[in-house]
Structures are given as structure tokens and as C-alpha cells.
Structure 1
């Protein structure tokens, strides 16, 4: 019925030891130390060992037998401390196994590879015990980091995959987006560091669909003892619905690791192409293991991924992506073949040998190898080309998977919360929007700094477009004339921000400004210094909570008179003036506004960096309205609000007055309550009076020509509660929604009602639609709406097609003791409702907006 179990166990042990040896080969002593000692620190808990914390901490690995290296460490530890380590008195220990998974031990491992460690634990650990064990893992991660090694621990309940449980989505944990596909990756790459072996490995590939019955037979016949193995379950239940969430997860990972993400996303596309006959890579590796194929290629998870993707791309005739995936593989392996082999350490040359063989098959010459091996020195032109190529490939895979889902009428297996978080992150990273600073170097090259940057302004009525052109050269005729600029924009602040946040502009860069009437090199240097002081390049990643919540401004700067400075002509004024009474917004007899241009630079809670430019006499008003419109009432105030002024005269006064005005307006916007929607701010700008009205869902501007209009506006506000006439349906809009209304995204709010449930929809402009007393299943509605927007609204513009990451966000209005609050919608927050009086269909919801 099955292969001789003794022989199979020997092969498993041989493969595991081979992978351990390969993981250690050609790696530094710090990596080897961490890799070998982690099981000791999880088996024991001692004050002199890393990871120690007070209290009762779950420790102990089932069936743990120290290796020779670990035994020597333990002997030295006991001798140095004078304290013997007390062995565990029970065989029922909380940790069933410690496994390393991912690229470690494969040809894809490099000197910079991190360690992904699965700690498989007994299902009887309670929540508090898991929390304590997780805290110990964090301490161990910090210990490894102090040695220069990145380790990520994942606590895996032994029943997680059997019961379709998921972790909590974060930068490392895929949450609900992966299930069987995650188990597939684990099984094909797992290396046992300590504990029980994996039961799945002994089940023949042709028995995968009968996994449970086959395993029960092994135990019933006495072939195996149940308590000697870890059983995470079989791979026979892969659902095609998982592909969409998995593709989102890989796109999310591509933000930081694009080369690896291209390989993994193309593997998903390959699986979908083979559907429904797709065989997971883990099953293929197991088949080869059972057949006794133990050579360098057959059981290497990374090579097999390349092999399977290659077969697919050759079958569909996609030579472009085939060439790209080979380059991604080469760069991931990171063995520089253009260098003489004598410079490479002898130990660990097996990766180099494999890569040499592949490169020979691909027909690459030394010139191509030298270009790839010089990646650390790539500058902006080559990096941007590489980034566009990677992004095009990823988006093509994503679109193909979307089409696959449409053809097969598949829903999404991931939770709405996780899909919402991932799409927010992808939207922030990839969506091309006016004024947004696009980051073009996702871990492609470590240094894009330039020695010289030249900013050239072209005025109106010239052959070239009016605006600013950026060159990474000194301003000489030979380096500028006839050469393409790096970047163009209508206004200077966007080019400076793009250069700074992409790493081209550093303290060592020489700046040059040409052909500008209002901005010289000195002013530009001051602007750059202000940005560098107030906007750090590296900030913590956005949390899932921040990504699921409406976007909020975190760091804001107003850049005044950088390109248009009305104060430059003030020397012509002969009349003395009192600084204490001077109105910078309506100055002198001509009532001139001394602010001629305002640039906004801000970073939001999704870590997007945006710039906007306003010029002319109303620049202040337009900038204020824009800022305030991007703040919902319940938003946290920005962590910093700065005004940078570059006026020739009255610089300090203009900066102070505008800082005061902005702070006051932000306070009015964020402190306005739903009962005080009549708040407004009157402004006198260039001799005209304007009113900023702080309404329920937005901020409006109204020109007040005379006193009658002025007081009339105030009276209407007090009388009606809001200055804009609402549709009749909006009278039903719960006031709690006001605090979450956010421009730029589509929001659905669900509320239980006596005869069903109510739906309140706010579109990207905060226009409201209300549906009362609906019927049906909200969970189905959420899935259908998400899928509709994901596959139908094509606003993403990379490559030949479009992808939309700006999917709707879903919330639930709940009442506790009569108090309303809003929480993210999840499958547990509401149950199906029925008994409608006004029925509504899914088509009604999906067709209720035109974008």
C-alpha cells in the first residue's frame, strides 16, 4: 500500500540534514549561531539565556534531541553559570516542533536572507499562554537583530489549517489571505530544527485526496505512532477562491521584495492556468522524494518554482516575462557570476554551480551578468526602468488572476477586513494620483544619490512645456542640451519632493537653479533643508488599523512664496507701515495678499506623500479648503504642522500669521461637534471677504459680497444646522457617520433596523445614498460589492491594462446602551437579516454610482 516506512524516514532525515547543511553553508558566524541555538532557547527558559522574562513562560519542545553543536553549547553554559539545566519531567510539552521555512536552505538563500520560523504548538495552549510565548519570541527576535540577523517567528496552532483558522494580518503574517497555499509553501520548504517530524511527508502524492483515511490506516495498522508526528493536515482541499487574496498578499509583499514577489505571483498564475488539474509544488517535491530523487535540483523549493513558472511562460509564448523571471531568480540568489570564482568562499559553492548551469542554458553573456551584478550601483534611470518592468509583470499577473476569477465565478476567501487592509496598502503604494510622490526604488538599489541636480524653469510661450525640468547633471551645455530630463512637473516643490523621497537628493548633492525669476539656488537649499529637518525618509509602516480607517494627515507643511513672491516688490512702497497692524492677507492701499504661492507637502496615515500647488491671490484660500477637506471630523490632529516661508521681506511675520490661521482652522474642523455645525471662519483676502463653513461632511467656501450676505450666511447656518440644502434621503443619515466620512474612498455603513437593515453609502465625493429596511445576507453583499469594484472599475494605469485598488470600505453601526459607534465590518458583527418592506438588490447597490 505504501513505501517501506523505514526507508522513507531515512530519506526524510537525509533531506532534512541536507537542508540544514545548505542553510549553514557560506553564511556568517552570526547566522549560524542564531540558526543553531534558537531551539535551545525555546526548549529552556533561563535568566542567563536570550528571550528570558519573568513569570511562567511556555517552554519545552517535544522529542527534542540536541545536536552536537547544541550539546556543546549546553555543556559550556552549565559550566560557565554553575547552574545545571533541569530536564523537563513530562513528555507532553507545549511546543510540538520548530521549523524554518521559506528561502532558507534553498538556492534562493543569500547573505541578506531572513529566517522565518514556525513554532508549532499544542492546541491546548490558551490565549494568555500564547501571548506570553509570543512575547518571548519578540525578545528572541531582538536578540537575533542585535547580531545582525533578521528572524520572524510565527506561532502555529497544530489545528490551524484543519480548522481553517488564520493569523492576524501584519507585515509578516498573511492573515486570512492564504490558507492551503501557505501550507503548500511550508511543506515544500520546511526544515525541522527541533521536535516532531511532519506526518504529511509520509503520505504518497496519489493519496492526497484521501489524506485522512490514509493517515488513519497508518495508525490503525501500527505503522506509525500518532504522538510521534505533527499533523497539520493535507493539501487536497485547495480552493481556487484563495488565488485572489493570495495575489493581493504577494503584491503587498512586492512593495519591499519585488524580485521574490514576481516569482511567487507568477507561480499563482501558473496554478490558475493549470486549474483544475493544478498540482501544488509541495506535492511534486514529495513525489520526487518518495521516488528517491535526492539531487541538487529536484527537491530545491526555489528552483522548482522557477522550473514550473518557466514551463508555463514557454507554453503561452511569453518570452518577455520569462526573461524577467530569470533575472529575478538570478538577483534573488545573489551569486555574482561575473566575478572570478577565486573571490568566492569555497564552502557553499553549490549555489554558484547551479546558477552557472542555468545561465549557460539561458545563453547569457558576461555583459548581462556584469550589469546584474552591479545592481548595488544602479542609479535612477536603470532603477526606474527595472521598477516599471517589475510592476508591469506583477500587474499583468494580477489582471490574469482577476480574469481567472471572473471566468470561474469565484468569490474571495479572505475576510473583508484583510482585503480592505491590503487594498489600502496597495492603493497607497501603487496608485498614480496627481501630486503624489511615486517611490521608484523598492529595494532595487541601495543608493540613488546624485552629485548634481539641476532644476530648470521654462516660462510660458516657449517651445517646451512651461514648468520645471530636473537633470542629474551640472548645468553645462553638453550635459543639458539634447538630453532627456529625469522628471518634469509644472511646479518645483513636486520635483524637489520626488528627488528627496527617492533618495536622489542628499546632503552631499550640489543643487543648481536656472532660468527662474523667483527661486534661486539659495532659496532652494533652504527649502531642501526644511524638508529634511521635518520629513524623515523612513517612518514606521502603516498599521492595519490605520489602513482600515479613513486616511488622516500626519505631517503637513505649507511652503509659501517659493515660486511667486509678492513681497519682492515691497521696496517700491514709500509709505511706512505698522508691523503690529499689518495684514499680510490684504496689505496696503491695494489690499494685496503677500502670499503669492502655496505648496502643500504632507504625509498621511497610509504613508503616502502628496504635494499640491496653488498660485495667485486666492492661493491661501484654496490651500486651506484643500487641507480641511482631507480631514474628517473625528480625525486625529496632524502630528506636525509647519509653515516654510521664503519671502524676500516680512518672512517671519507671514510665517507666523499663516501658522496661526492654519492651526485655528484645523482646530475648528476637528473640534466641530455635530450640534455645532454652524462654525465658520471669515477671511479677508485681497480686499474680499470669504467664509469658510465647517459642515457635517466637508468644508465649503462662500464669497460674502456685503454685510447682508455675511449675516445671512450665519443666520442660515444657525437655522438649518448646515449651510447646504440636503436631499430628502439625507435626513435619515445617522450623525455618527459624520466623523468617519472621508473623501476619496467609497464607504458602506450597515445599521440594524426594525424590519431588516439600513445601508448608507458615501461615494468618493461624500455624496450620500440611503437604502432603508433592506433584506438578504450582508456578508454576500460585501463579497459581491468588493468583487464588482475589484474587477470592473479600471483606474490603475500601469502597463497595458488597469487595476483598481481603491475598493469600498465597510463599517457597522452598533449601539451600546443607546450610544452609537462605528466598527469595521466583519463576519461576526452581524447576522443575516430578513423581512423587508423595501427590498433592494445587489444590482441596485453596485450600479448606484457612476465613477
Structure 2
């Protein structure tokens, strides 16, 4: 052990107390309460304590001695419980509680979340681990009621000596990170209660000899298991971890973009040094063992800044270096502006950041602009979003290229790749009609007092369509101002303004219309209808939802917003009878009263999509598009709202369209279904809508011959394309039921020593391979490598990263019935990491 071992122990305890004081000084009142009471709640198990549940729940934190505030809480609880009845803990089953992340660092702010490792013996019975997990969830909910985000992670003491069998869940990175996670823990941990960590006291260059050295220290009595916890060491970070870590940090960037930029560039810097990566945790350990004071060299945010600065300077990337510095400043200044308490505990943060700003040579106006972030509006946020996204994607691309250069396969599980890539696809993929959410917690309020929509007709200098401005229409306000957004249809722009927080109830809408039937009154109605049925924020999608094909969750249908056939009737007499009252073929002249259909929907991956259809086929085009977003095994939308903005017959048109949509959704999602045909008269034209297990199509029917020709064609194309034995065995029905447009799907079905493979492309065309041999894992990894590297062949899209990765499924049998589960690698445990 280190020559000054006993002095290091005293120093460790002293530094830990200082770090706790620093952490508490920045927290809110409720944050302090949660931090202080957490060890009490896990040390004792009592019905009056938050987190209580019946059963043999593990309790007792090693070496926990309540401080004055904790003892006051315990005494009050004892009075409420008529003495010390039941408030005792003779067991010591929790080895320690350790926070990690920004807590106590220069990067901590008033509302930083609290990530805490709850360490226990890997020999604990699984059913008792589950009880402890349930208790931790209850404690997290108790903290949430106090507006504190507390994430408790159960960590067995052998976690980093075995292969990673975890999966992404909530704030847990699952298989995305393993030893990189241990690196971050060692460089950022703060002991709340429990045993000291061995790793900080071991010599710095043991490498693969670490485990043997530590075992000798326990054997000769230098260390004892009652006071010390060893989570293991590592000779190096396996290169296989970098891809998964990049995905995880990009995902975290959705909520914490400034921190994510720093961490993704750090991963890039680590990979640049491969295989001799200089880990930050080792730097921090060296400073700890050689320093008598707790200085900035033991602050992991400062170490991270130093590391990425050195890397970016070495490759001459001044642009990203400037961005990294701004990200660091904004992350740290968030804590400075809102800090309270003893200045001695947090003034050191201001001293450091002021020194850095001076060294960077920032002009006063640049500093003022950054300090004014609370008042940033949409222009500043759009610019910041573009910069942040470009930096994140550049690091991601560089890490993929690193993996390809070294012929490295990823260690992250295929299921976790699917979940994380879906979250990133939903957040960042820019697609036609999709509402891009630009405010990644960049600014608190983007609301605008005035928003204008301006239509430009065809034949002008500017592109025909609609333009969105954040001003009124007075010449002094709008001349010389650039539009915020463009779209070919108005509903997309108002949806963009709504979901990005520009359009609020107090916003005044303005309209300059040049050719459509849209009126200011109807535009205002549309804005109110949109806000009523689509909340801006919804709970994040579950992992189950992300591992399945996406489904339409909330659907809004807006009829005749831009094109209203009834608006041109003027004083024309309206003649219709009971037989000609169908709004799709109305009156003596059989008019189709639906001129335009606008769709806005939120799907199960939390994407917001918009679509617009106009003209005589708008109804069938909208219908087949909606139904094409629903695989046969999908759930029906949780909400379906239809609105109509016609001058005449609003209620009739809305009711008829809603009835038609619900009928067609019912036909599409019918569990027991062969082929179904629905005919629909639009004006004087007849259309056939063909419902098949794998999709929906529409055909105009001129006569009976056309009808039967289309029906025959549907039957011919109903079966899969088989590349092995044409006509041999149909594709399983459950594959058809899961068929989802817009993504590649791979289904593995066990077949003796091999497996059958069913591949559905983006258009739901099927290829079948039978009796396939070889590793499924290798196949999955090679496919993912192809898709992630495909971006290199796309020219002119600097932000491009392909997150629309295939989904992989296993067909299994449960109670004699086939089921589809996300494909997941099964690994064998391996020996210690050294």
C-alpha cells in the first residue's frame, strides 16, 4: 500500500468532509434534506420512514454514525413511534452510499440530480436485492415529491469483475458503459456513508496486478473487509466500450447538452490515446496521493476540461475548443448564479471560472451574451442547438471511425443499441414533416408576443409556401427580418411554434394569406385546438415502447384548414337529400367537401410528425398514410381528435371523417383478418382500400374489371419474397403482425441447430433465409456497423448520423403461442478485470 497510508486515510476523510460541505452549500433546501436523510432511510427500516415496504428488506449502512441533523430527525421519529420501538439496525448489509457525477464539483448547480451508488454483497439473495430495489424506487419517489431528482443504483461488489449483463433503464446506462462507468465513478465519487474505497489508496501503476496486490493487503491485515470496499481496478478501457458510451452520452445530451459535449469529446480524446489511454481517474488519484489540500486538480470537471483542451489543441480544432469552453462556462455558471449559503464553501468556484475566462481572453460582450442565457430567445437557441448538435455528431462520427480503423465490435447489447438509437432518432433525426424540438434545456422561455404566418404563392422569387416570423405584420416590424421556419403547409409551422414553446395562450397571431382559404379566425382556432389536445411535454417513452415498432399514440386530424370547398359556394343554393348527404360525395353535383387534410401526431417514440394532403384524393391519401403508420399488432391511438374549419357543414364533415377513420383503424388492427376491401366514393370517383396483414393500399376503381384485377394482384403479392425455396412455408403470421413501415426489421426463429431469418425492409418486403448457421451476435454487429458507417457516403449533411438502425427480434414460444421479444445477447461471465 502507499508509503503514507495512514496519512492518506486521514486526508481522505478530511477531503470527504470538505466535499460534502461544498455539495450541501449549492443544494436547495429540499436537496440538502434528501442528501442528509438518505443514509438514515437506508440504514433503518421502519413503517414511519419513507421507502418502507413489508418483507425482509436489506438494511444497515456500514459505519453509519448520524450527525447532529440526522440525529434530530431520528429522535423526532422515535417520539412519533413511542420510543425506539423498531428503530434499530443491527445488520450491516449495505457496504456504502456514494454519490457520483457533478455533486461537490465545480459543475454542480442548485438543481443537479443526485446519482448515488448503493453497494452491497453479490452474495445477497436475489429476492432480497429486488426488495432493496423496490425500496430505492420508493425513496426516489419521495425525493421527487420534494423536486429533487434522486437516482439510486444498486451495485454488487463484483459488478466490474463480471461481464455486463445490465440493460438501459431510466438513468442507468445498462450495457452502454462498463469500465468507462467505473472510471467516471472513481474520479467523481463522494462517500455519503459506508466503507472507504480501496482503489484510491493503491499505487497508481499496478495495471493487471491490481487484484493480486489488493488481495495481499487484505491477507496481511493492512486492509480489512469491515472498513474497506474494493470494486476492482482495470489495466485499460476495452475499445469495444467506446461506441456504446458515445450512444449513451448523445442520449444524455437530449437533457444536458453542455455536459454531453464535454463527455463525448472526452471519449474521443480517450480513443485518440488508445491503447495507452490516460484515464482521468488515474490523474485524480495521483493528485490525491501527492496533495495536502483539496484543490482544482481533484475536481473531475476541471480534469475533464484540461483533458479535452489538450486533445483539441493537439488536433488544431479551435472551433470545437471555443465551444467546449463555452459549454463548460455555461454549465458552471448555472451553479454560480443560483448559489446560496456560506461564500467560503462556493466562492472557490467563482475564483476558478474568473481565472479561466481571463486566460481565454474573452471580450466583455461575449461574456455578457453567455450570462444572459436566461433571456435567450429562439434565434439564440437555434444557433446554440446547431452548434451543440454538430459537436455531438462529430464526436460520434470520430468514435465510429475509430472502431472501424481498429476492427472493433461493440460490447453494448443489441437491445440497448436499439433503445438508445431510437431515442436519438426521435430527438435528432430531421425528417420532412417532423417537428424538430430545438430547446434542449438551452433557455427557460421561448414564448413570443407576436407570431406571423406569411404565404408566398407560386411564381414569386421566394419559394412558394409558408414562412413563420416572430413579429407582427407592420412593415417596421417585418421588413428585413429573416423567417424562423419555412414549410409547404401552415399547420407544420404552427405545430413547430407550439411544441417549441413560442406559441402560448397570450401570443397574438397574424396572417398574410395569398391564395389559400385559411382565415385568421381559423388559424387562431387551430392554435387553440392544437394546444388543447397536444401537451408540449409528455413522459419519456418506455424502453418497451422503444424496443417495438413505433405506434401512433395521439392523432389530431384538421380538415379544410387551407382548402375549404364550401368557402367558394357564396350564395349558391345548396341542394341535397338524404341519399346525397355524404360529405365525400355531397348534393346534386356530388361534391367532395374535404379539400385538405392536415395530420399532427405524436408516436410511441415521442416524435411529433405533421403531414398535409390536398386535392381530390386528400381523404384516401391521408387514410392510407395514417394506416401505414400502424402495424397489425399495434395498439389503437390513445386519443383521436378530428377538427373541421369549413365555412359550412363543419359538424357533418367532422363526424363523417371521424367515423371513417375509426372504422378503417378497426379494420387495420383486427387480430383475426384475411384480406378486407373497403370501397369509398369521393366526388364521382370510386376507390378501393385494401387491408392486408402487412399493410394497406388504395386503388382507383374505374369499373368492375379494375376492382378484380387489383384484388387478384393483392393475392399474388400477399406472400413473401423467398430467396431460398420459392413457395415453401409461409412467413409466420407474427412477423406480418409486427411489420412496420420505415425501418429494417430482423426476426430470428430457432430451427434446430441453426435459425430462420426473416428480414423486412422499409417497405415491408420480406426476404427469408432458412437453416442459417453462425453467430447471431456477429451478424447483428456487422449490420449495425454497416448502418452507422453509411453516413460517410452522404455528402453535404454535416449533422448527419444514422440513428435509424434496424430492430432485431427473437421469435419464441410461450404457452404454445409464438411471441416476439427484443433480441438480446447472452454473455458468459468472465474473470476479473485486473
Taking structure 1 as the reference length, what is the TM-score of the superposition? 0.93
1:424-823 equivalences under 5 Å are 424-516=422-514, 517-578=516-577, 581-671=580-670, 673=672, 676-710=673-707, 713=710, 720=715, 729=726, 732-754=730-752, 756-793=754-791, 800=798, 802-816=800-814, 818-823=816-821
**Counterpart position of 2:58:** 58
SS at match of 1:376: helix
Tell me the CA shift for residue 226 of structure 1. Answer: 2.7
Equivalent residue for 1:69? 69
The answer to whether the Cα contact below 8 Å between 1:391 and 1:798 also exists between their aligned partners in 2 is no
Tell me, yes or no, if the aligned pair for 2:25 and 2:341 is still in contact at 8 Å.
no
* DSSP 3-state at the match of 1:595: coil
* Equivalent-residue separation in structure 2 for 1:387 and 1:716 (angstroms): 48
Would the aligned equivalents of 1:432 and 1:797 in 2 still touch at CA under 8 Å?
Answer: no
For residues 216 and 474 of structure 2, what CA distance do their matches in structure 1 show? 81
Greater Cα offset, 793-802 or 467-476? 793-802
Query: CA–CA distance in 2 between the matches of 1:792 and 1:758?
Result: 26
Counterpart secondary structure, 2:171: coil
2:35 paired residue number: 35
C-alpha separation in 1, matches of 2:88 and 2:202: 32
Aligned residues of 1:678 and 1:714 also touching (Cα < 8 A): no
* Match of residue 278 from structure 1: 277
Deviation at 1:332, TM superposition (A): 0.9
Within 1, Cα distance between the matches of 2:797 and 2:477? Answer: 30
SS of aligned partner of 2:115 = strand
Contact (CA 8 Å) 2:596, 2:612: kept in 1 or not? yes
How far is the alpha carbon of 1:795 from its aligned partner? 8.2
Instruction: Please list, as runs of the form range in 1=range in 2, the aligned pairs for 1:96-107 lying within 5 A after superposition.
Output: 96-107=95-106
Task: Give runs of aligned pairs for residues 75-474 of structure 1, distance below 5 A.
Answer: 75-79=75-79, 81-84=81-84, 90=90, 93-292=92-291, 294-334=293-333, 347-474=345-472
- Rate the CA distance shift 1:377–1:9 in 2: closer, same or farther, 3 A: same
Segment of structure 1 superposing worse, 573-582 or 466-475:
573-582
Structure 1 residue 348 displacement after superposition: 1.9
Instruction: Please say if residues 62 and 93 of structure 1, whose CA atoms lie closer than 8 Å, have aligned partners that are also in contact.
Output: yes
Contact 1:758 1:771 in 2 (8 A): yes
Give yes or no for contact 2:43–2:61 (8 Å, CA) kept in 1.
yes
Q: Once structures 1 and 2 are overlaid, which stretch shifts more, 142-151 or 654-663?
A: 142-151
Query: How far apart are the structure 1 equivalents of 2:793 and 2:531?
Result: 33
**CA distance, structure 2, for counterparts of residue 96 and residue 730 of structure 1:** 62
Structure 1 residues 472 and 798, CA gap change in structure 2 (3 angstroms): farther
Q: Structure 2: how far apart are the matches of 1:756 and 1:62?
A: 50
Deviations for 1:514-538, whole angstroms, at most 9, x for unmatched residues?
1244111110011111111111111
Shift of 1:337: 7.7
CA distance change for structure 1 residues 817 and 16 in 2, over 3 Å: closer, same or farther?
A: closer
Instruction: Tell me, in whole angstroms, the C-alpha distance in 2 between the residues paired with 1:86 and 1:5.
Output: 40
Task: Please name the residue that 1:18 is paired with.
Answer: 18
By how many angstroms is 1:459 displaced? 1.1
With a CA cutoff of 8 Å and minimum separation of 6, indicate the structure with the bigger relative contact order: 2
Contact 1:58 1:133 survives alignment (8 Å): yes
Tell me, in whole angstroms, the C-alpha distance in 2 between the residues paired with 1:508 and 1:795: 46
Structure 1 gap segments, 5+ residues each: 831-851
Larger displacement relative to structure 2 (501-510 or 729-738): 729-738
Q: 1:829 to 1:701 in 2, by over 3 A?
A: farther
Q: How far apart, in 1, do the equivalents of 2:691 and 2:44 lie?
A: 61
Deviates more, 1:562-571 or 1:55-64: 55-64
What is the distance in 1 between the residues matched to 2:486 and 2:48?
59
Shift of 1:689: 0.9
More deviation, 510-519/124-133: 124-133
User: Given that residues 633 and 738 in structure 2 are in contact (C-alpha distance below 8 angstroms), is that contact kept between their aligned partners in structure 1?
Assistant: yes
1:755-790 deviation line (CA, Å, top 9, x unaligned): 632211111111211222222111211111112211
Asked whether the 8 Å contact 2:46–2:87 carries over to 1, the reply is no
SS of the residue aligned with 2:819? strand
Q: How many residues align?
A: 824
User: Deviation per CA, 1:350-380, whole angstroms, max 9, x where unpaired?
Assistant: 1111111111111123322221111111000
Deviations 1:388-424 (A, max 9, x none): 0000000000011011101111100011110111111
Deviation at 1:102? 0.7
Q: Give, in whole Å, the separation in 2 of the partners of 1:337 and 1:4.
A: 36
More off after superposition, 96-105 vs 732-741: 732-741
Q: Closer, same or farther in 2 for the Cα pair 1:742/1:293, shift >3 Å?
A: farther
Structure 2 portions without partners, runs of 5+: 829-834
Name the SS for the 2:176 alignment partner.
coil
**Distance in 1 between the 2:796 and 2:455 partners?**
28
Q: CA deviation at 1:797?
A: 8.5
The question of whether the paired residues in 2 share the 8 Å contact of 1:338 and 1:369 is answered with no
Give the Cα separation in 1 of the matches to 2:185 and 2:337: 33
Task: Give the conservation status (yes or no) of the 8 Å contact 2:25–2:342.
Answer: no
Match of 1:841 in 2: none
Cα distance change of structure 1 residues 754 and 2 upon mapping to structure 2, 3 Å threshold: closer
For 1:87 and 1:223, the matched residues in 2 are separated by 34
Change (3 A) 1:575 1:630: closer
CA separation in 2, counterparts of 1:730 and 1:160? Answer: 50
* 3-state SS in 1 of match to 2:226: helix
* Distance of 2:462 and 2:578 partners within structure 1: 43
Residue 47 of structure 2 is matched in structure 1 by 47
Contact conserved, 1:183 with 1:235, CA < 8 A, in 2?
A: no
The 3-state SS of whatever aligns with 1:334 is: helix
- Give 1:291 deviation, angstroms: 1.6
In the TM superposition, residue 492 of structure 1 has moved relative to its aligned partner by: 0.2
Alpha-carbon deviations, 1:279-310, whole Å to 9, x = none? 21111111111122534211011111111111
Name the SS for the 2:329 alignment partner. Answer: helix
Question: Structure 1 CA distance, aligned partners of 2:220 and 2:20?
Answer: 32
Kept after mapping to 2: 8 A contact 1:98/1:195: yes
* Matches of 1:755 and 1:338, distance apart in 2: 63
With over 3 angstroms needed to count, the CA separation of the structure-2 counterparts of 1:359 and 1:623, relative to structure 1, is same
Aligned partners of 2:522, 2:713: CA distance in 1, in Å? Answer: 46
CA distance in 2, matches of 1:797, 1:643: 41
**1:349 aligned counterpart, secondary structure:** helix
Shift, 1:446, TM fit = 1.0
Following the alignment from structure 2 to structure 1, what is the Cα–Cα distance between the partners of residues 244 and 40? 36
Runs of 4+ displaced beyond 6 Å? 336-339, 341-344, 721-725, 795-798
Distance 1:769 1:30 in 2: 57
Asked if the contact 1:16/1:191 (under 8 Å) is kept, the reply is yes
Q: Given the superposition, is the C-alpha separation of residues 396 and 793 from structure 1 closer, same or farther in structure 2, using an over 3 Å criterion? A: closer
Distance 1:133 1:580, change over 3 A: farther
Q: Deviations over 1:456-498 (max 9, x none)?
A: 1111112211111111001111222222111111100000100
Q: Distance in 2 between matches of 1:603 and 1:701?
A: 24
**Structure 2 counterpart of 1:843:** none
Q: 1:28 to 1:263 in 2, by over 3 A?
A: same
- Residues 167/798 of structure 1: CA separation in 2 closer, same or farther (3 Å cut): farther
Q: Give a deviation string over 1:305-327, Cα, whole Å, max 9, x none.
A: 11111111111111111111111
Q: Which is further off, 507-516 or 378-387?
A: 507-516
Shifted more, 751-760 versus 9-18: the winner is: 751-760
